[in-house]
Chains A and B, each alone.
Chain A
Amino acid sequence: MASWGEASESRLIGKRVTRLSGKDKVTGKAKYTFDINEPGMLYGRILRSETAHATVLGIDLSEAEALPGVKAVIPIIEVGNKLRYQGQEIAAVAADTDDIAKDAIRLIHVDLEELPSVVTEADAMAADAPQIREDWAGNQSEPNVREDGDINAGFTEAAVEVEATYHTPVQTHVCLETHGHVAKWEDEQNLTVWASTQGVFGVRNDFAQHFELPANQVRVITEHMGGGFGSKFGPGIEGRTAVELARITGKAVKLMLTRKDEHLVAGNRPSMTQQVRAGATSDGRLIAYDMKGYGTGGISSGAGFTGPYVYHVPNSRAERVNVAVNAGNQRAMRAPGHPQGAFAMDSLMDELAEKLGMDPVEFRRINDPNEVRQAQYTLGAQEIGWHRRNHVPGSGTGVKKRGMGLGSGQWGGGGGRGTEARVTINADGTVEAVTGTQDIGTGIRTVIAMIVAEEFGLDITDVRVNVGDSQPGLPSGGSGGSQTTPSVAPVIKTAAAAAKQKLFERIAPLLEAPVGDLRVGTGTIYVVSDRTKTITWKQAAGQLGMDSISEGGTWDEELRQNGAAGTQFAEVEVDTQTGALRVIKIVAVQDCGLAINRLTTESQINGGVIMGLGQAILEERFMDPETGRMLNANLEDYKVPGTFEIPEIQSIVFDTHRKVTGVGEPPCIPTPGAIANAVYNAIGVRIRSLPITPDKILDALAEKA
């Protein structure tokens, strides 16, 4: 049975290893799609709708075409079709410089007939709202209903009840490298595209299909990528447009979205509003849960969220609908549906605990069936100093009041089949590992090198890792669902083991020992039964003469595990005069099985907490109901966490077994709930709507007083 071996035997696996791409990234040498400069390259731009809902009556490209430096102008939407949100594509240009492309966009004239639009959930759900999707009755989807047990019986048994409405707004991904591509036709049948994507092979297959090319004649390259968070799986209209502009002009075309485009059309986390009624028994058992909720994913659907979440409720009913508005489509965003649902559930848990007069940790212990989290509650409470919390919420004295709270999360992250990889040993002792996954900043490149280096007794810098390129023809899935490491690592491990076995077979006669007695040392291979028999790695590889050893791997389920439990404790300080909220400390206890690289795992946990903190206290897409436009489609008014918001973060890698589980998404889930509960513990007033901003805090305090 395959295994990662014992921790005591590992030289690299489970240790803190700095990443292979570090030097390129700190010196500016790392080339992202945005940095590709091909000779004679043109710059693409897209004209987008500023109107939320309209019919296109005409598009006049002639003035743009006449501008010197403009090489191509193409319509994207057909006359007669409808524009259904601000940012929707109308036409595109390619020009010698980006500034000329910008000028040309302004010379395209579009005739529109404006139609009534709705951009907020409330307006879309109003009785007299204009219908914006022809395929739905009204602006709401059919409800999705899930029932478990008997809620009426549950409520009869309940000793306490809470009824509340929780809300989280639409958030945008804010990838710092905007979505974009550099497209270059090598000839009429061979296409190369640099893509800022989470899925090299998915993008390749899309282009092949759309442009009717053999898949093996489309090459997609993503050497480095500036953030995706779930929003970068397909090429999108902008990718196809870049390829089309390159086809027409015969030149390479770079087309990156603008910052504004990125907010409008490159995906978002749907909103959530839920009305929930829940009950618990006098001995602290969650017994009944009845929820009705809705959210918007823009003009599309997909606004799901979890509920009930994590904790066991024997009797529950949950009804959710999608609300359509005239705004850009949602896309998966880091643990889709979970942070919203977790914020509501953990707020509800604390409200019930208070009615029962119970410690919030104790109430969770009773209702959480997950054993890993049970242990995490103990550790987290100890690390934050849970005993220091206000036993009566809001009971602290002074203007600045402190409080503590906790939240929980659960994710899968067990990986899956579909990765092909090769590990090659050359006769000069050099080693290569190749697979079609992509390093989106999570550090998979380094993880691959660590696995191979551990297997061969080498340093990670001895392993040349080739990822982010479809050309070697070794497919791997998209980097989503926290699946990359659990999907890729087992295949690399088995490929390296197979290559090592082949090398042992070649050198066993030389060492006059059975293959089974050979072991790798550090840069050596020796005979376990007679340690005087040893040769260096280089000498061993030299036995290959003119050959190389190159082996593929298989996805071995024994090397990975599904299920990542997490708990976070927050301490906050609220200035009751200004409403200013400062998060002081977060203790994040995160299960991820075997953390192959502890250093980059800690980075991921920090990152998840900070994204969760942004959702908790800063981030919200504002839509103007009058104009149908987003009011904060920039980085000044759409706030993401900066240095001043960063609390002390204690990221605890809570490894309970030696199988690999992904950790990209889970750490962002518990944060908003933990912070919201800490705010309540500080001021004794509950804020049920994210983000928790100073105005909401002051309003809540005023209402209490």
Chain B
Amino acid sequence: MPEKEKKQGTNISRRNFLKGVGTGTVAATVAPSVLIGSEKAADAQVDDAVANATIQLNINGKSYQIEVEARTTLLTVLRDGIDTSGSNIDLTGAKLICDRGECGGCTVMVDGKAVYACMMLAIDAQGKEITTVEGLAEGDDLHPVQDAFIQHDALMCGFCTPGFIVSSAALLNENASPTLEEIKVGLSGNTCRCGTYPFIFDAVKTASRKM
């Protein structure tokens, strides 16, 4: 069964990052010292310098050059990123829902493995193959998981659906015919509020038979 990486450790410290991006734009902007969990809005410290850097990412088989801050997540790049030619990347299938690696709404594949894009820094995604829900179909041919989700009505509002689709595809990559229990474990990192789970389980079973 696939292990979802909740946190991707970055091997670039902020200081090394600053040194290492000689070709990038090192702009003196500001960022707070505490990025997550700051409860006291009024007295947060804003004293830590970060830099912008231009990085290259391979997303759905296409190469993008993007200027990012050290703190920019892969999810932010996918959804809000603008490449250096000025066009929006606009891959909004992955959603930000919990913003802390709990709900799986932002799940994408990084080198074939399901990853929470809200928990991965964009700079850590360099040199990796990133596949989003938009990259699963081949032209008009939907991925078997996508077909099965439609057939079984494994979606209602659909907001969590891209995350479930990518997680399901990653699960089937590693286990071609999962049992119900294995499906529950494989998708345990994803949350749905409409309550589509029973039909999701059916859909993954159907997809596994077709793959």
B196–A603 CB distance below 8 A:
yes
Return the contact of B88 from the options A37, A109, A110, A226 (Cβ within 8 A): A37
Given contacts A28-B134, A634-B98, A635-B191, are A176 and B197 in contact (CB under 8 A)? no
Tell me, yes or no, whether A441 is within 8 Å of chain B by CB: yes
Known: A28-B134, A50-B39, A177-B95. A642 touches B191 (CB 8 A): yes
The answer, yes or no, to whether B8 is at the interface (CB within 8 Å) is no
Complexed CA–CA distance, A604 and B195 (Å): 8
Who on chain B is nearest to A39 by CB? B88
Enumerate chain A residues within 8 angstroms of B103, measured Cβ to Cβ.
176, 635
A611 to B191, CA, bound (A): 12
Residues on B with beta carbons closer than 8 Å to the beta carbon of A103: 30-32, 46
A28 close to B98 (CB less than 8 A): no
> A86's closest neighbor in chain B, by CB?
B39
Closest chain A CB from B64 CB (angstroms): 15
User: Is residue A580 contacting chain B, with contact meaning CB distance below 8 A?
Assistant: no
Closest to B95 in A: A34
A23–B29 touching, CB < 8 Å: no
Q: SS class of chain B's interface: helix, strand, loop or mixed?
A: loop
Identify the stretch in A264-272, A348-356, A391-399, A643-651 within 8 Å (CB) of chain B at 4 or more residues: A643-651
Residue-wise interface mask of A (580-620) relative to B, using a CB-CB cutoff of 8 A (1 in contact, 0 not): 00000000000000000001101110111111000000000
Name the A residues within 8 Å of B26 (CB-CB): none
Contacts of B183 in A (CB 8 A): 643
Known A23-B142, A176-B97: A225·B157 in contact at CB below 8 Å: yes
Selected contact of A28 from candidates B38, B80, B132, B201, CB within 8 Å: B132
* Candidates A50, A603, A636; contact of B40 at CB < 8 Å: A50
Q: Whose C-beta in chain A lies nearest to the C-beta of B40?
A: A50
Q: Contact mask A14-44 → B, CB, 8 Å, 1/0?
A: 0000110111111111111011010000000
Known: A50-B40, A106-B46. A649 touches B198 (CB 8 A): yes
In the assembled complex, which residues on chain B have CB atoms less than 8 Å from the CB atom of A106? 32, 38, 41-42, 44, 46
Evaluate contact between B196 and A37: CB separation under 8 angstroms: no
Q: Does B10 contact A (CB under 8 A)?
A: no
B49 contacts partner chain A, Cβ-Cβ < 8 Å? no
Q: Are A607 and B137 in contact (CB-based, < 8 A)?
A: no
Q: Interface with A: B14-22, B69-77, B109-117, which one?
A: B69-77
- In angstroms, Cα B154 to Cα A441, docked, is 11
Residues of B within 8 A of A107 (CB): 44, 46
Chain A residues within 8 Å of B80, by CB: 37, 97-98
CA distance A22 to B42 in the complex (A): 44
Encode B89-122 as 1/0 by CB contact (under 8 A) with A.
0111111111110110100000000000000000
Residues A642 and B188 in contact, CB atoms below 8 Å apart: yes
| B136 CB to nearest A CB, Å | 8
Residue of A with least CB distance to B69: A99
Q: Which residues of A contact B165 (CB under 8 A)?
A: 26
Q: Which of A19, A69, A225, A634 contacts B153 (CB 8 A)?
A: A19
**Is B187's CB within 8 Å of the partner chain A?**
yes
Q: Is the CB of A607 within 8 A of B194?
A: yes
Contact with A along B150-183 (1 / 0, CB 8 A): 1101011111111001000000000000000001
Asked whether B193 is an interface residue with its Cβ less than 8 Å from the other chain, the reply is yes
Contact indicator A641/B41 (Cβ below 8 Å) = no
Q: Does B133 contact A (CB under 8 A)?
A: yes
Q: Which of A22, A25, A29, A48 has the most CB of B within 10 A?
A: A25
Tell me if A68 and B29 are in contact (CB < 8 A): yes
Contact assessment for B99 and A606 in the assembled complex, using a CB-CB cutoff below 8 Å: no
A37 to B159, CA, bound (A): 17
B208 at the interface (CB under 8 A from A): no
Cα–Cα, bound, A442→B198 (Å)? 16
Q: Roughly how many angstroms separate A686 CA and B134 CA in the complex, as a whole number?
A: 50
Q: Lowest 5 CB-CB distances: which A-B pairs, in order?
A: A28-B93, A441-B157, A226-B159, A607-B195, A610-B195
23 contacts between A and B (CB under 8 A): A21-B158, A23-B142, A23-B150, A26-B162, A31-B92, A37-B80, A47-B41, A103-B30, A106-B32, A108-B41, A108-B42, A176-B97, A177-B157, A224-B159, A225-B157, A227-B193, A258-B99, A440-B157, A441-B158, A442-B156, A610-B197, A634-B100, A634-B102
15 additional contacts, CB 8 Å, given A18-B150, A610-B197? A26-B142, A27-B93, A32-B159, A37-B90, A50-B39, A97-B80, A99-B71, A103-B31, A106-B41, A175-B193, A224-B157, A226-B95, A259-B99, A609-B195, A636-B100
